[in-house]
Structure 1
């Protein structure tokens, strides 16, 4: 597995490249993202936890790292994220369980990064 920083940077780079290719489409997609992610019947934190779970189920390393970091930014705890991963594993079996390791690595890397900055 590539480092979580590399995966995070690759996700941002891909998004930026797609934006350079078709800014109108990415603007619309970004507006949709912001609308869907904000607090509603579900809090933004819970929505990010759900997105981590879906990312694990879909086995998208970039999405796992990106949404795990966002969930942590919104105050999600390690326990909340790992419990979501356990539910994902329940529904997705062994492969989903293995992709949960990326969530764990991202949490650890994010915590180390925050400790350096504080």
Structure 2
């Protein structure tokens, strides 16, 4: 089962259709997203790990796929992702033990596709 690419593939066309229907909303969201994820006091990797933890907390498979990909893209290691998900489980209990593994699998999927073989180092 794919929790990364599969979810993104499933949402691709419906997302495009909605984006075409309400472009101003999506443009505003894109601008906010760009500003929020820009490196500042926190680097992009840390922000993606925070977002991944929130995605698990919100039980949002699309968000999990997006931020697992972002974590892999920004160089998060498997150990860093695992620890972020551990905190998520501590804060959210049982539901995070379902969505946390989904996030971990999605991260591993994106990291593998990106050719990141040394993902376990912290």
In the superposition, the TM-score normalised over structure 1's length comes to 0.87
Unaligned runs of 5+ in 2: 116-122
Unaligned runs of 5+ in 1: none
Residue of structure 2 equivalent to 1:4: 4
Which range moved further: 96-105 or 8-17?
Answer: 8-17
Q: Distance in 2 between matches of 1:25 and 1:78?
A: 34
Which range moved further: 3-12 or 92-101?
Answer: 3-12
Task: Work out which structure has the larger RCO, using CA pairs closer than 8 Å and 6 or more positions apart in sequence.
Answer: 2
Q: Distance in 2 between matches of 1:11 and 1:82?
A: 26
User: Which contiguous aligned blocks of 4+ residues in structure 1 show a shift greater than 4 angstroms?
Assistant: none
Secondary structure in structure 2 of the residue aligned to 1:62: helix
Residue of structure 2 equivalent to 1:39: 39
Corresponding pairs, count: 115
Q: Distance in 1 between matches of 2:112 and 2:2?
A: 17
Shift of the 106–2 alpha-carbon distance from structure 1 to 2, 3 Å rule, reads: closer
Q: Distance in 2 between matches of 1:106 and 1:2?
A: 7
What displacement does 1:114 show? 2.9
Residue of structure 1 equivalent to 2:78: 78
Q: For 1:59-106, what per-residue CA distance to the aligned partner results, in whole angstroms no more than 9, with x for missing partners?
A: 111111110111110011111111011101001001112211112211
